[in-house]
Structure 1
Amino acid sequence: MHKIVLLTGVFLLGMLNVCAQGQANNWYFGYGAGLNFSTGSPRALTDGSLYTLEGCATISDDDGNLLFYTDGITVYGANHSILTNGTGLFGNPSSTQSAIIIPQPDTPGIYYIFTVDTTTRQGETNEGVNYSIVDFTSDPAGVVREKNTPLLNYAAEKLSAVIKSCTDNSVWLVTLSSASGNQNFINTVYAFQLSSSGLDTTPVRSSAGFVVEDPRGNLKFSPDGTKLAIANASGGLFLADFDSESGTVTNTQRLNINSANYAAYGVEFSPNNRFLYSASSNNEDSRLGAGNHFSSLIQYDLEAADINASQVSLDESGYYRGSLQLGPDGKIYRALSLAYEEGLNSLGVIENPNALGTAANYNDQAIDLGTGVSYQGLPPFNQSLFNELDIIQNSISTTQLTLCDGENYVLGYEPVAGALYSWYKDGNLIAGETNNQLNISQPAGVSLPYTETYEFRLDPNDGSCEKVGVAEVTYYAYPAAATGLSLTQCEDAGTADGLSIFNLTQVQEELTGGDTDFTVSYHLNATDAATESNAIDPVGYENTNPTETVYARVTNPAGCSITVPIDLIVSSSAANTAVLEGCDLDDTGFAEFDLSQADAQVLDGVSGNYEIHYYPTEEAALLEDSALELPQLYTNQTAYNETVYARVENNNACFAISTVALILIPRPDFSLETEAIYCEASYPETQTYSPDYSDLDPSRIYTYEWFPEGQTTPYLETNLSGDHTLRVTDVNTGCFREATITIVEEQIPIIDNIEVTDATENNTATITLSGNGAYEVAIDDETGPYQDELFFDGLTPGFHTLYVRSKNACTAISQEFSIIGFSKYFTPNGDGYHDYWQVKGISAMVQPGTVIRIFNRYGKLLKELNPLGQGWDGTFSGTNLPADDYWFQVNLEDGRVFKSHFTLKR
C-alpha cells in the first residue's frame, strides 16, 4: 500500500478526480452539435461554432463552465468566437482524435492542446503530434501560445490521456506511431508526461505489439489507467496493459470481432473498468451513401477467462463508423451517422455500461441533438475524470441520487477481499463507518430539497491506488396534495351532449405548485395513476360523459408521487357571434384586424366579468393553444373571409366559445383614365369625364366625390386642367378607392410658317406649327387624308389650302398658300381649255407686283402681262401668232427672276 503521511493530502487528491469531472461537462462535436451534463442528464447544445466530421476536443473548468473547444485547427472560446492566435493548429477535423485538451497539473489557467494530423508524411515535421498552450493567466479570454510545437513527426490518428498515479497528479499523453513514419519507430506507443513543471518532450516508448495497418480509430485508457484499447480500423482491435507509474505498455492482445471483415473504430471502457465496448463497421468506401454501411456495438468482459469468447453484441445496424465516449453521468455515448458526410440528429447511449451483457441496455438514437448533427467523432478527455466507483448502483446515475422525504437508502460497493473502507459526508470522515455499505437517511429538521455529498474510499491494501466513489444525495418533499381541482371546458360548437376536448395541463401549475422539477402524468383512473400505467395524452383529451374525473400522478425528482383527482366540467353557456369587417386596402385579400373590437359584440347581453381570448381554430380555443395574443393586430390567414374563435373565460374556466367572422370587404372597383384632354377651343364650356364602373358591385351603395371640385356625381364636368381625384366610397363599410385623372389643356394650333420650294420640277411645302397638342395635316381636302409629317412634295403650281386638326378632335384650322409655277404650253383655240398662258400662284395677296414679259425666239418683246389678269392669248397687235416656242421673263415681287420658254400650239 502507498503510504500518505497527511490524510488531508489523500482526501484532496481523491476529491481532485471528483471535482475535475466538471471538465467534461460540455461537449462540442459534429456539425453544430453539443451536449451539456451540468444537470446530470445531457441537454442538447446548438450554439457551437464547430463543424467537423471526426476530430474534436472540449474542456470546461472544474465547476463545469465551458472554457474552449477545437477541431484540431481552430480554437473557439466560451463565447464561441476564435481565441487570440487560435487558428492554424496542425490537427485535422478528419483525424479520428484530432485533439485532446489537458490542464497542466497544479497550474491554474494553463491548458495543453495536443493535436494529431490525419496524414503523416516523412520529412514534414509540422504534422504528426504537436502541442499548443492556451493561457488564461495573461488574458482572461484566453490566448494561444507556443503554437504547433512538435512532439512526434509520424503518428496514427489517436490520442488519449490518464493520470500517472494516485500520488502524482502528472498526466500521461499517449499516442501511437504509424507505419508511414520512420521505420525505427513504427508500431510504437509513445507516452509523454505532463506535470506541474511542464511537458517532458522525451517520451517513454513501448512496442505496440502489432502493425499499425490503418491510422484511423480511437485510442482509450480505462478510467483506472491500467488498460489501453486501440482500434486499428483495417487491422483489428487490440487490448494492452498500461503501467501508469512507468508509462509502459505490455501484454498486447488482439480481440476478435465476430462479424466478418469488421473494422474497429470507436472504443471505450466502462466506469468500473471491467467492460470494453467497441463500435465497428464493415469499413466500406466512405464515399458510398446510406444503405452501404453496417456496424456493430460489442461488449467484452475483461474479467472473463477468455475475453474473446465473452463478447456480446448490443446492436447491429446500418450505421457508418462512430466514436464512443464516457460521459460524466457514467453512461457511454455513441456517435451515429449513415455515411461519411450523412449524419444524424441523435446519439446512441449505453445506459448501464457497468452491467454484464445486454443488461448494459443500449438505447439507439436516445439523445436528441436538436439542429446539431452527429458524424463520426466525439470529444476525448483525460479518462481519469471518469475513474469513480459507483456506490449508488441503481442503473440511473453513478454520481447523483434523489430520495423522497423520509426515504432510506444503502450506498455501497461490492466487497473486495482485504480492502479497507472509509466514508465521508460533506468532506468529513464518518467515524466508525468502515464497511463497504452505508445506510443513509434524511437528517431531521432540514428544509427540502436538501442535498448532501457522500464519499466512499476503498483502499485495496495491496499496494495499488485507492479508489473513490461519490454520491450527491438530494431529498425532495412529496408534492403537496392539491384538492378540489376541476377543469371547466366549453361544449363543442353545434352540439348539446356535454362533451368537449380538454387541455389537462391547464391545472399543471396547481398540481406542482409551480415547481418545474415536478413531473405530471394523467390517467383515466386512480389505479393507473398509482401504478404509472396507461398514461393519456393531456392535450386534446375528449371526455366520454358529461360528468367525468381523471387522475393526475404528480412526481418529484426523487420519484415520490401522489395521485390527484381532476373533475371535468363542460359548460353549455353561449356567447354571441361577432363580425368584424375591414377594408382590403392593398387589394390582396389580407389585412390587420383589432380582435378586441369584437369584445362588445361577443359579450352583448352577457352579464358578469369575463376575459376574452382569441384563437385560430375551435380546437385551439378549447385547448388554449396558439392564442392570438392582443394587443397585436391579427392578419387574416384566409383571403377575404376567415373565422376565428373567442374563448370567454371566468377565472380560466371556459364560459363559452363563439365565432368571430373576419370579413375583408374589397374596395370599390372602378377604373379611371390617368390622363385626358380639355380643348382650349371649347373654353369656357365644360367637358365630361366618365370612369368605368362596370366592375362595381350593383348590390352595394356608393358615394362619389371629386377633388378639388367637390362634385358628388359619378362623372366629372370641368373646364379646368390639372389633377382631379375621384373617391368612391362603400356607404355600408366606409371602404373607398381613389383614382386620379390628369387633365391637360390642348391649345389651338398656330401655323407659324409654310415654307415652299416652288417654280421647280418638284414643288414642296414644309409646315411649322405651335401648340401642345397632337396634330395632323392635310392639303386641299378638309376630309383628308391627314398625315403626321409636316411636309408635302409634288405640289402643282397654284394655290393650295393647308388643313390642321387635333387628333383629339379639339380644333381644326386652315391656311391658303401659293406655289409659283409656269405652264409648258397653251392652246388658244377658244375651247375653254388652256386658252391663256399665265404665271400660276400669284394673287392680289401673293406677289401682286410681279412683272411678266413674253418674247419671240428673236428676243422681240411681244407682251407684258398683268400678273393678276387672265394671261396671254397668243396674239400680237390683234393677230394670232403662229405655233412656236416663246420665251418669258418673270420678275417676282420678292426679287426672284425666272426665265424659260413655253409652247404655243395651234
Structure 2
Amino acid sequence: MKFKRLRFAFSLVCACMLLVCSDAFAQGQANNWYFGYGAGLNFSTGSPRPLTDGSLYTLEGCASISSENGNLLFYTDGITVYRADHSIMPNGNGLLGDPSSTQSAIIISQPDTPGIYYIFTVDTVTQEGEVNEGVNYTVVDFNQDPEGVVTQKNVNLLAYGAEKLSAVIKSCTDNSVWIVMLSSSNGNQGLLDTFYAYELSRNGLRTTPVRSAAGFSVEDPRGNLKFSPDGTQLACANSAEGLYLADFNSLTGRVSNSRRLVIDGFNYAPYGVEFSPNNRFLYCHSSNNESAREPASSHFSSLIQYDTQAADISASQVLLDQQNLYRGSLQLAPDGKIYRTLSRGYQEGSTYLGVIDAPNEAGTAAIYRDRAIFLDTGISHQGLPPFNQSLFNELDIIQNDVSSRQLALCDGDVYTLQYEPVMGATYSWFRNDNELRSATDYRLTIRQPAGVSLPYTETYRFVLDLNDGSCEKVGIAEVTYYPYQRAVPNVRLVQCEDSETADGFSIFNLDQANDQLTDGLDGFDVTYHYTQSDATNDRNPIDPFGYENTAPTEVLWARIFSPAGCATVNSLTLEVSSTQASNALIEQCDLDDTGFAEFDLSLADDQVLGTSSGTLDVNYYLSERGALLEDEDELLPVLYTNSVAYEQEVFARVENNNACFAISPVNLQVLARPQFSLPQSQFYCATNFPALQTFSPDYSELDPSQNYSYEWMPEGQTTPELSTNLTGEHTLRVTNLATGCFREESFLIEEKELATIDNIEVTDATENNIAIISFSGNGEYELALDDPLGPYQEDSTFEGLQPGFHTVYIRSKEGCGIVEQEFSIIGFPKFFTPNGDGYHDYWNVKGISDLVQSGTSVRVFNRFGKLIKELDPTSSGWDGTFGGENLPADDYWFRILLEDGREFKSHFTLKR
C-alpha cells in the first residue's frame, strides 16, 4: 500500500487543495450548504449544524460558496442567485440552469482574483420538442458591490449538456481550475459522448475547450460527475446507462481510459457518486430507476463502495446499505465525511441525511449511518451542492487507521506524525499556523505542551513540496490531549422500588451516574462492569439501560475513559429506596371534543410531594419504567398533551440530588364539556318590535344527573331559554357546575321585514293577460292572487288573468305577515245577455274605475257603423237598448280610447 501511495504522490501533478500557507484553510469555501426545501448545513465547527434560513426550493440542483474563512457568500438553484442575507442578488434572476437538473450549478472562484466568482449552469434533460439551454456561465462580482452583484449572465459554452458539472485544480503555479462537463447524447449539433474541459485562470475563462471522447454512449445522462480530490480520476453516473470511471490528466485536461463498473443487484441505475478523501474509494448511490410517478413504496436504492486500487474494481464492490429510497446524491464535506440524501420519492423528501463516517476505510469499516443528520425544518430531496473537489484533498499524516484528521492522545502521551519519505522533497511543519523551522523531516514527534488545561487541542499542518514544479501537498492533524479522570469517592446511584414488589430490587439506568463519575467533564465515556478486573481490562461490559440489581445494595465498577482511551476505574454503589410519594390527579376540560387536552404537569408537583421536605426535583415520564430509567425518550415536557384519549396515567419521578426519592402515578383526565346544540340561525320579525321572542336550544344530550348554569350574551340572561328582541350574534355558555367545564355556542338572529311591493307590470287587453310583481325585502317570500289563503307560489309572474281588478298577496315565509296590493287588467267581454237574470246583463270595458283609466272613451256601433251608445266606463255599461227599445241579437262594434292613449277596435255579440 505504501508503494502505491508513493507512486501516486509522484503522479499527482497540480492536484492539491492547499497550495501555500495562506490557503491552508481554503476548505472553508465548502462550509455552508443550501439544498432541498429550505435545508442547509454549516461545517464551521467541525460537526454539521442545521441551517433553516435558506431560500432554496429545489428537488435536485443547487450550489453554494463561502469565503476561505467559512463565511457564506451566495448560493443558487441554477436559476436564482441568493446573497448571504438570503435576498435575491441584483440581476440574479433568470439563469439557465434548472432545479430539476442533477448538478444544475457549480460555483468556482476565479484564481488569484479576489471577489470574482463564476457560476456554471446546466439545463435539465428535456423531453422531445423542448429547448435545452445547454451549459452557460454567469459572473458574480463582490468588488462592485460588497454583497455581490451579477455582472455577466448566461454566456453559452455548450449547446446541449448532460446534467453534470465538476471541477478540480489544474495548476498550482497559477491556481487555475478545470471545469468539466459532458455533452448529451441527444444528438444536438453532433455533440455526442464527449467530455469538455474549460480552464478558468487569473486571466478569466478560456472558452476553447479540451475535448475528450467519453468512450460510452449515453441517452439518460442524469447523475453526478465527480473528480477524486487529487484530480486523477473522474466518476460519471449515467442513470440507466451505468457507472463509468475514467482517468484525468490535470496538465492537459484530457479524460481517458473510461471503463464501466458493474453494479450488482437490481438497483442498477447510478445517480450519486463520490470519492473518499484519500482518493482510493469510490462510493455510488444507485436505484432501481422506477418512474417518478410510481409510489414511494416502489423505489429502492443501494449504497456501494468500490476500491479503485483493486485489480478488478467491479469485483471489489461492498454493499453498505440497501433500503426503500429514491435516487439521491453523495457529497464529500469539510469534515472528511460523505453525506447522502434520503428522499423516499420524487417529491417525498426527508428531514435527515445519511453519512459515511470513515470513507477512507475499506468495506463496512467505512461505517455508514442512516438518518444520522437531522435537518430541523429543512427537507432534503435528491441534490447536494457540488464544489471544487480539490478542496477536499489532504495527506494522511496520522496514519493510525482511525482518522486521517483527528488524533486523540492522553495526558503525557508522545506521538509521531508522519507521511512517507519522498526522494528530493522538502518538508515543512506548522503548529497552530506557526512554522516549526527546526522540523524539516517527514516525521514530527509531538507531546502535550506544559502548563495547559486539559482537554487541550492544537492543529499541526504538514506541507510536502516535491520540488518538481507541481503542487505542494498538505496534511492536517487536529490533536486533542485528554486528562485521566481522577477517582471519585462514594459514588452512589439510588433508585426507587418498582410498584410490583417491595423487595429491594428495581431497574437502573447506570448512565445516570456518569456525571458523578466524570465530575461533569466533557469528553469522557463510561462503561460498567461486575468486577474491578473487568473494568480495568475493559471486559464484559454491562448494558447500562435497564440493569436489574442483584442485591438491595450492590457494588459495580465503572471504567471512565476519554476518546484517547485514558482510562480510570471507579466503584459505583447501587441502592434501592422504598420511599413512597402521593398519587396525583390533574383534570383538564376537553376543548375540542377529541378527548385530548394540554396539561400543565407542574400542577401535580404539590400533590406528589405532599408534606415531603428538602430540595426535591420532579420530572414526569410516559411510563413507570421510563421514570425508573430516566429514559429521555419518555421524558415529558411540562406542557403535555395526553396521548391516550380522555384518561391516561403518567409517572412522576421525585429526586433528591439525582437520588430517586419516589415514583408516583399521575392520572390525567380529560373532562367532557356539556353537549347541546343551537339552531344555525333564527329570525325576529321587525313588525313585532318591541315584543320579546323566545328561542330554545336542544338540551337533549345534557347529562340530567349534572347541574348546569346558563349565560346568554349579550343579554346577560341566565335562563335555559332566550327571550329577546335583539338581532345579531348571540352566544350561550353552559357550564357544568361540578367540573367547571363549559361550552360556548353561537347563533345568529336575523331581522326579517315584510315585503315591499315596488311595481306591478301588467300586460293586458290581450288573449293572455300577464302581471309581473316586483318586490323587495330581506326575507323569504311567496305570492298568491285574489285569496290571502292561497294557493301561494314562488313565481312572481301571473298569466292568463281575467280582465278586471285583482289583488296580489305577498306572504313572509318566516311568518312575519302579509302585504297586499290591488291592480287592474283591462279587457273587453266577447258577449253579453241582457235578459235580466243578473248574469252578463251589461257590456262595458273591464278593469276601469274612478282611479284607473277613468277618462277612457267607449263608443258602441251597429254593423252599419251607426253610433248606438257612448258609455261611461265607470258605469254598469250598455243594456242592449236603443231609444228605449231592445236591439236584436247581433254583433256590435266598439271603439275604445283609453286614458293612457291606447286605442282598441273590435266587436262583441249581443245574445237574446
Q: Is the pair's TM-score, using the shorter chain for normalization, greater than 0.5? A: yes
**Cross-structure match for 1:864:** none
Partner SS state of residue 573, structure 1: coil
Whole-angstrom CA distance in 2 between matches of 1:188 and 1:98: 19
The answer as to whether partners of 2:281 and 2:305 remain within 8 angstroms in 1 is no
Q: CA deviation at 1:264?
A: 4.8
**Cross-structure match for 2:501:** 495
| Residues 614-629 of structure 1 mapped to structure 2, 5 A cutoff | 618-623=624-629
| Residues 601-616 of structure 1 mapped to structure 2, 5 A cutoff | 610=616
- Please say if 1:510 is aligned against 2:516: yes
Deviations for 1:80-112, whole angstroms, at most 9, x for unmatched residues? 554444332211222222111112223333322
The answer as to whether partners of 2:287 and 2:299 remain within 8 angstroms in 1 is no
**Cross-structure match for 1:456:** 462
Structure 1 residues 521 and 92: CA distance shift in structure 2, 3 A = farther
Deviations for 1:92-135, whole angstroms, at most 9, x for unmatched residues? 22222211111222333332211011237999998111122334
Which residue identity does 1:379 align to in structure 2?
P
- Please say if 1:423 is aligned against 2:438: no
Whole-angstrom CA distance in 2 between matches of 1:206 and 1:586: 68
**Cross-structure match for 2:209:** 203
- Please say if 1:656 is aligned against 2:655: no
Structure 1 residues 482 and 697: CA distance shift in structure 2, 3 A = farther
- Please say if 1:301 is aligned against 2:328: no
**Cross-structure match for 2:767:** none
**Cross-structure match for 1:765:** none
Partner SS state of residue 168, structure 2: strand
- Please say if 1:565 is aligned against 2:571: yes
Structure 1 residues 347 and 628: CA distance shift in structure 2, 3 A = closer
Q: CA deviation at 1:547?
A: 1.0
Partner SS state of residue 299, structure 1: strand
The answer as to whether partners of 1:293 and 1:339 remain within 8 angstroms in 2 is no
Whole-angstrom CA distance in 2 between matches of 1:284 and 1:696: 58
Structure 1 residues 342 and 536: CA distance shift in structure 2, 3 A = farther
- Please say if 1:252 is aligned against 2:231: no
Pairs aligned (count): 699
| Residues 194-233 of structure 1 mapped to structure 2, 5 A cutoff | 194-233=200-239
The answer as to whether partners of 1:18 and 1:470 remain within 8 angstroms in 2 is no
Deviations for 1:142-178, whole angstroms, at most 9, x for unmatched residues? 4434232322222222211112212112222222323
Whole-angstrom CA distance in 1 between matches of 2:449 and 2:54: 43
Whole-angstrom CA distance in 2 between matches of 1:200 and 1:578: 78
Structure 1 residues 215 and 448: CA distance shift in structure 2, 3 A = same
Q: CA deviation at 1:57?
A: 1.6
The answer as to whether partners of 1:452 and 1:473 remain within 8 angstroms in 2 is yes
- Please say if 1:328 is aligned against 2:317: no
**81, 85, 88: which one pairs with 1:75?**
81
Between 659-668 and 493-502, the greater mean CA deviation after superposition: 659-668
Structure 1 residues 11 and 430: CA distance shift in structure 2, 3 A = farther
Bigger CA radius of gyration: 1
Between 580-589 and 27-36, the greater mean CA deviation after superposition: 580-589
Which residue identity does 1:363 align to in structure 2?
Y
Whole-angstrom CA distance in 1 between matches of 2:186 and 2:742: 82
The answer as to whether partners of 1:575 and 1:656 remain within 8 angstroms in 2 is yes
Structure 1 residues 428 and 661: CA distance shift in structure 2, 3 A = closer
Between 562-571 and 334-343, the greater mean CA deviation after superposition: 334-343
Structure 1 residues 598 and 81: CA distance shift in structure 2, 3 A = same
Structure 1 residues 48 and 558: CA distance shift in structure 2, 3 A = farther
The answer as to whether partners of 1:18 and 1:385 remain within 8 angstroms in 2 is no
| Residues 178-193 of structure 1 mapped to structure 2, 5 A cutoff | 178-180=184-186, 183=189, 185-193=191-199
**Cross-structure match for 1:682:** none
Whole-angstrom CA distance in 2 between matches of 1:281 and 1:11: 32
Whole-angstrom CA distance in 2 between matches of 1:270 and 1:663: 56
Whole-angstrom CA distance in 1 between matches of 2:637 and 2:607: 19
Whole-angstrom CA distance in 2 between matches of 1:193 and 1:387: 20
- Please say if 1:475 is aligned against 2:487: no
The answer as to whether partners of 1:329 and 1:397 remain within 8 angstroms in 2 is no
Partner SS state of residue 169, structure 1: coil
Whole-angstrom CA distance in 1 between matches of 2:347 and 2:701: 62
Q: CA deviation at 1:26?
A: 3.0
* Runs (5+) with no aligned partner, structure 1: 1-9, 672-691, 708-714, 740-787, 790-906
| Residues 535-554 of structure 1 mapped to structure 2, 5 A cutoff | 538=544, 540-554=546-560
Structure 1 residues 650 and 205: CA distance shift in structure 2, 3 A = closer
Identity of aligned residues (%): 59
**Cross-structure match for 2:392:** 386
Deviations for 1:520-578, whole angstroms, at most 9, x for unmatched residues? 44555555555666655655544343112344444434443334333222222334556
- Please say if 1:173 is aligned against 2:179: yes
**367, 374, 387: which one pairs with 2:372?**
367
The answer as to whether partners of 2:262 and 2:314 remain within 8 angstroms in 1 is no
| Residues 245-324 of structure 1 mapped to structure 2, 5 A cutoff | 245=251, 247-249=252-254, 251-257=256-262, 259=264, 262=268, 264-280=270-286, 283=289, 285=291, 287-288=293-294, 290-291=297-298, 297-302=304-309, 311-315=316-320, 317=322, 321-324=327-330
**555, 562, 579: which one pairs with 1:556?**
562
Structure 1 residues 397 and 89: CA distance shift in structure 2, 3 A = farther
Structure 1 residues 457 and 79: CA distance shift in structure 2, 3 A = same
| Residues 679-758 of structure 1 mapped to structure 2, 5 A cutoff | none
**Cross-structure match for 2:451:** 445
* Runs (5+) with no aligned partner, structure 2: 1-15, 678-698, 713-718, 727-731, 745-787, 790-912
Partner SS state of residue 112, structure 1: strand
Partner SS state of residue 165, structure 1: coil
Whole-angstrom CA distance in 2 between matches of 1:326 and 1:736: 58
Deviations for 1:267-310, whole angstroms, at most 9, x for unmatched residues? 433333345455555656555555465657352435x6x56577
Whole-angstrom CA distance in 1 between matches of 2:274 and 2:670: 65
Whole-angstrom CA distance in 2 between matches of 1:578 and 1:198: 75
| Residues 857-876 of structure 1 mapped to structure 2, 5 A cutoff | none
Structure 1 residues 528 and 377: CA distance shift in structure 2, 3 A = farther
Q: CA deviation at 1:185?
A: 5.0
Partner SS state of residue 168, structure 1: coil
The answer as to whether partners of 2:285 and 2:302 remain within 8 angstroms in 1 is yes
**45, 68, 71: which one pairs with 1:65?**
71
Which residue identity does 1:59 align to in structure 2?
I
**Cross-structure match for 2:20:** 14
| Residues 751-770 of structure 1 mapped to structure 2, 5 A cutoff | none
Whole-angstrom CA distance in 2 between matches of 1:295 and 1:170: 36
TM-score by length of 1: 0.64
Deviations for 1:233-281, whole angstroms, at most 9, x for unmatched residues? 4555555444434x43154332442649955544433333345455555
Q: CA deviation at 1:622?
A: 3.7
Which residue identity does 1:273 align to in structure 2?
N
The answer as to whether partners of 2:482 and 2:564 remain within 8 angstroms in 1 is yes
**Cross-structure match for 1:52:** 58
Which residue identity does 1:425 align to in structure 2?
R
**411, 418, 437: which one pairs with 1:412?**
418
Whole-angstrom CA distance in 1 between matches of 2:237 and 2:669: 69
The answer as to whether partners of 2:595 and 2:670 remain within 8 angstroms in 1 is yes
Structure 1 residues 481 and 138: CA distance shift in structure 2, 3 A = farther
Which residue identity does 1:500 align to in structure 2?
S
TM-score by length of 2: 0.64
Partner SS state of residue 444, structure 2: strand
Q: CA deviation at 1:480?
A: 4.2
The answer as to whether partners of 1:122 and 1:181 remain within 8 angstroms in 2 is no
Structure 1 residues 166 and 600: CA distance shift in structure 2, 3 A = closer
